[in-house]
Amino acid sequence: MLSETPGHPISDDTTGHALRTPSKLHAFNRYEIKYLVPSHQIPELRGELTRRLDFDSHGADGGYGVWSTYYDTRQLRFYWEKIEGLKFRRKLRIRHYGDRFAVSDDSTVHVEIKQRVNRVTQKRRIALPYAQAQDLCDRRRMIEHHSSQKAFVEEILELVSMLDLRPVMMTGYQREAFVGREADEGIRVTMDHRVRGRDRDFHFAASAENRLIVPAGLSVVEFKADERVPYWLTDLAARMNLSVVRVSKYCQGIEAYDRAPRSIFHVPDDEPAGVLPVAIHS
């Protein structure tokens, strides 16, 4: 294992290859297709989806909030890996589902490593009380864990320590989610509305301003499948004239807050007519 002098973390360049091999422990693999959908098309899309899919257990009645704190290096290594399209790349985040203002030290959150290997997305995560998640990712302390989680917890600790990771962006949105039934088991479709974020005050419950980082008139829609997205879904997208996009909410936030220049994948800031101002607090 690589060592470092206290207070002098190993640089990105010297640790890069040591952290590039995907772990053998994967929660699940999936293929994802993303679209940007204008708000006026969402009712039609929702109606078509409910003919073949079910709302997930929390997805009905307007959905639920999803909040994520993303970690990166001082040089934004994970951001640039995404922009450059590396075949293997990863992101570390702490994610909370629900009302962020209700989050306390005891609230359950998920520490996740989401990584891309060629065209396959792999996500692994562990559920922890928020205080323990902060101990692990912010204070870089080993936490109590089940023996079956040992390798993953150690991987997270190694990642934040060797790359000197710190929180750099928070994103949040309202999610509607649908899951497949019968022949479409394993299919999941998400519709994320009012995508917003901030670049400071990273406690989930902080009374801090969030800005829209995707225009309010657009929703991020993802088709997700264990093996392949079924033809009826891609045909539906074609009938509705939806175009596949390569958009990352994390990267969108980084660019919206001028932490990096606008990339060719940046969703334009121009808003449809009638959209309200972008500063919001929820």
Residues in the chain: 282
> What domains, with CATH codes, occur in the chain?
27-226+246-280 (3.20.100.30)
Cα–Cα–Cα angle for 82, 86, 87, rounded to 5 degrees: 120
What is the Cα–Cα distance from 37 to 56, expressed in whole angstroms? Answer: 20
**How many whole angstroms separate alpha carbon 176 and alpha carbon 101?**
20
Position 23: which residue type? Answer: S
Number of helices (H), then strands (E), belonging to the chain: the values are 7, 11
Residues ≥6 apart with Cβ < 8 Å to 280: 194, 196, 209, 210, 211, 212
Cβ(168)–Cβ(76) under 8 Å? Answer: yes
Please give the pLDDT value at position 205.
97
How far from 207 is each of 100, 106, 135, 281, 282, CA to CA, in Å?
A: 10, 19, 22, 8, 9
Q: What pLDDT is stored for residue 13 in this prediction?
A: 39
Are 113 and 92 in contact by the 8 Å Cβ rule? The answer is yes
3-state SS assignment for residue 137 = helix
Decide if 192 contacts 248 (C-beta within 8 A). no
Bridge partners, residue 210, by sequence? 280
Number of neighbours of residue 230 by Cβ within 10 angstroms: 17
| Coil vs helix vs strand at 151 | helix
pLDDT in tens, the chain (282 residues): 333 333 333 334 333 433 434 443 435 678 899 999 999 999 999 999 999 999 998 766 789 999 999 999 999 999 999 999 998 999 999 999 999 999 999 999 999 999 988 878 889 999 999 999 999 999 999 998 889 999 999 999 999 999 999 999 999 999 999 999 988 989 999 999 999 999 999 999 999 999 999 999 999 999 999 888 999 999 999 999 999 999 999 999 999 999 999 999 999 886 543 343 343 444
Distance from C-alpha of 152 to C-alpha of 157, rounded to nearest angstrom: 9
